Structure 1
């Protein structure tokens, strides 16, 4: 898997929020239960996204999180970089320091092409666009497919 578990869960939670009623806050407990993600793990991930300005949080009994305007305008690339950093796009596939055209690893040429394609796809794919497509095509966000798009 190219993306960390944190990143995968962050993408799923972001898609969850993108599918919901605009402007409303959703409790982390409800999100974690509906998406079958550990509450504490999800809390840390969403704190990262909030710190990066992609989400807003509201404390209190009716508190929760929602996408910020920046989050609504985000691409999948924005989310991946916010959680995992730019390493997916910049690092050697084998993790070798200094890998490049001067000192390539055995996978360098193939990986440069592949990661370029991945980067382009992530930059072209908007969060809101994929959430809309998810609603239309009933994509699943949970292992059991129990999530219902609104």
Structure 2
């Protein structure tokens, strides 16, 4: 449902939310830690920067950081910046014009699910998930947990 770019953007944003707010993180380090191609991650981070969610700084101490605390950035902000509103507006079967007047067979069920997803994305912040990840030592990569990711910077 979410594009690969969006999934990686969420992972990168969660990683940044778990770091010191004033610290720029080099993209190369993020790429290695999150096991995401450097060039692909760079393009994703450019989208988040263009949308005002990240700030970038070039140079030897450069990198990226969130523009505001993770408690002020909801998951929906990241999703909309990368994938746009399609998850929350388009027909699950991909039929144009699907709506109350001309619904597809899944319209009613998808509308309820879509609204639940929207509420969850709006009500969950990066800080919420970063704290949960650290507290419960959850995974942010295939094999790596938060504790491992934040070690050896």
Q: Which runs of 5+ in 2 are unaligned?
A: none
Q: How far apart, in 1, do the equivalents of 2:20 and 2:53 lie? A: 17
CA shift in 2, pair 1:8/1:97, >3 Å? same
Counterpart position of 2:35: 36
State the superposition RMSD in angstroms: 1.3
Deviates more, 1:69-78 or 1:91-100: 69-78
For residue 47 of structure 1, what is the aligned residue in structure 2? 46
Whole-Å Cα distance in 1 between the matches of residues 90 and 131 of structure 2?
A: 32
- Shift of residue 145, structure 1, vs aligned partner: 2.2
Query: Could you say which residue in structure 1 is the equivalent of 2:144?
Result: 145
Matching residue of 2:23: 24
Number of aligned residue pairs: 149
| 1:83 counterpart = 2:82 | yes
- Which stretch shifts more, 77-86 or 139-148? 139-148
Residue-by-residue CA offset, 1:44-102 (whole Å, 9 max, x unaligned): 00000000110000011211000001765110011101110001000000111100011
After superposing the two structures, state which structure 1 stretch, 67-76 or 108-117, moved more: 67-76
Written as runs of structure 1 = structure 2, the 5 A alignment for 1:7-18 is 7-18=6-17
**After TM superposition, which residue ranges in structure 1, 4 or more long, deviate above 2 angstroms?**
145-150
- TM-score (normalised: structure 2): 0.93
Unpaired runs of at least 5, structure 1: none
CA shift for structure 1 position 133: 1.2
CA–CA separation in structure 1 for the residues paired with 2:72 and 2:145:
27
| Contact kept in structure 1, 2:137 and 2:145, CA below 8 Å | no
